[in-house]
Structure 1
Amino acid sequence: MTPLRQAMIDQMDLRGLAPKTQQAYLQQIKELARYYHRSPDLLTDEELQAYLLYLIRDRQLSHSSCRQAVHALVFLYSRVLQRRLPRMALAHPKRDQKIPDLLYPDEVLALLQHFVRPKPRAAAFLAYATGMRISEVSALQVQDLDGVHNRIKVRQGKGQKDRYVLFTESLKQNLRDYWRAFRPESYIIYGQYKNRPLDSKYLRLDMKAAAQAAGISKRVCFHSLRHAFATHQLLNGMPLPRLQALLGHKHLQTTFRYLQWVALMDVARNPTEDLLCGLGRAA
């Protein structure tokens, strides 16, 4: 490991950057050094701006990827090398406002019924019942379950913030069956060893397989269960600020998009009184 890389890691640790953010920043700096075949501390301001143009024009990276590169550069030069950078030009195109393929309750139940392996099925159950992200489901531990107060603690979710989510009776019943079969001691959805979580790639693969087996032609990923939780809770009348707290959104506007998506759903397919999350019927 080069001294510069170690210095950057040290500064990221001191400022509490999340592991995934650190990994992304280090990869961006590695790509920069590979492009010029020189150490980044030897590059000029003009070369840095030219590299950014290369990312935009030649590699045609998305705006978010280019922005991440800029953040990595700013961190390296300002925090590690103590060098002031000129403002680097970066276009700010409007983001595409794409609506994901939303799942109806009957489609979610079909998915749950077509999981072959019990661990990914339990993980999917958790995601739909609580709205947790795949990383949060994977990191969930036995000590985080509070059945007495009907809540689950999500530790260090996105933005390194703790929050609580719902622990419904139907979810408890489903986990009891899972508990009897697997007896988790540390991580609830564990892999080969009980002290290590199941790799999230298996959750994604099983989700795709379940969607195919259920005959669902929509674009489905594990995050679709979080979208389903949010839209179904709104259809059941949950107030928007309450949903914001459960999802862990910093800004209400982020949660508001679900309200906009719900307005576009064909709710005639599922009468309001049937939009229950359906967990009891799937268990």
Structure 2
Amino acid sequence: METSSKPRLQEQFRAVMRLHHYSIRTEKSYWYWIRYFIRFHQLRHPLELGAAEVNAFLTWLAVERQVAAATQNLALNALVFLYDKVLQQPLGQVGEVVRAKRSARIPCVLTHEEASS
């Protein structure tokens, strides 16, 4: 008796990542954030979730976890990849997300005396 069950989400994800020639490190990073997103929403399947839940997750990362802007962007990119390429269900507009702020980098300027010492 054959069972034609759908591949698990992780198997689907890996197959699509490799099809698009992403690096193993990117695959691991993206999968980390996808798992984090699923756990954040009490283990609900991403097909049951949408842009509102992605917004809630990304806002929580910025406000509660106070992650760096690059970290929040990585999580967003992982979820956009999941929905667009793996689930083939585009998220649409991920709008009102509280964005993590990049810290202002103040250039270090030395006087001639400081530079020569």
Distance (whole Å) between structure 2 residues aligned to residue 57 and residue 93 of structure 1: 10
8 Å CA contact retained: 2:33, 2:75: yes
Distance (whole Å) between structure 2 residues aligned to residue 96 and residue 20 of structure 1: 28
The structure 2 residue matched to 1:80, chosen from 86, 95, 99, is 86
User: Alpha-carbon deviations, 1:76-115, whole Å to 9, x = none?
Assistant: 000011111122234374443166xxxxxxxxxxxxxxxx
Distance (whole Å) between structure 1 residues aligned to residue 60 and residue 115 of structure 2: 47
User: Alpha-carbon deviations, 1:233-283, whole Å to 9, x = none?
Assistant: xxxxxxxxxxxxxxxxxxxxxxxxxxxx6x6484413xxxxxxxxxxxxxx
The two structures, once aligned, show a CA RMSD in angstroms of 2.3
- What is aligned with 1:26? 31
Amino acid corresponding to residue 49 of structure 2 in structure 1: L
What number of residue pairs does the alignment pair up? 106
Q: Which SS does the other structure have where 1:69 is aligned?
A: helix
- What is aligned with 1:197? none
Aligned counterparts, 1:25-174, within 5 A: 25-37=30-42, 38-89=44-95, 90=97, 91=99, 93-97=101-105
Point out which structure has higher relative CO (alpha carbons under 8 A, 6+ apart).
2
- Runs of at least 5 residues in structure 2 that lack an aligned partner in the other structure: 1-6
Q: Which SS does the other structure have where 2:36 is aligned?
A: helix
Q: Which SS does the other structure have where 2:94 is aligned?
A: coil
Distance (whole Å) between structure 1 residues aligned to residue 65 and residue 48 of structure 2: 23
Q: Which SS does the other structure have where 2:10 is aligned?
A: helix
- Runs of at least 5 residues in structure 1 that lack an aligned partner in the other structure: 100-260, 270-283
- After TM superposition, what 4+ stretches of structure 1 lie above 2 angstroms from structure 2? 89-96, 263-267
Amino acid corresponding to residue 116 of structure 2 in structure 1: A
Q: Which SS does the other structure have where 2:22 is aligned?
A: coil
Distance (whole Å) between structure 1 residues aligned to residue 27 and residue 36 of structure 2: 14
Query: What fraction of aligned residue pairs are identical, expressed as a percent?
Result: 26
Q: Give the TM-score normalised by structure 1.
A: 0.34
Distance (whole Å) between structure 1 residues aligned to residue 32 and residue 90 of structure 2: 22
For residue 32 of structure 1, report the CA deviation from its aligned partner: 0.8
Q: Give the TM-score normalised by structure 2.
A: 0.76
Aligned counterparts, 1:266-281, within 5 A: 266-269=114-117
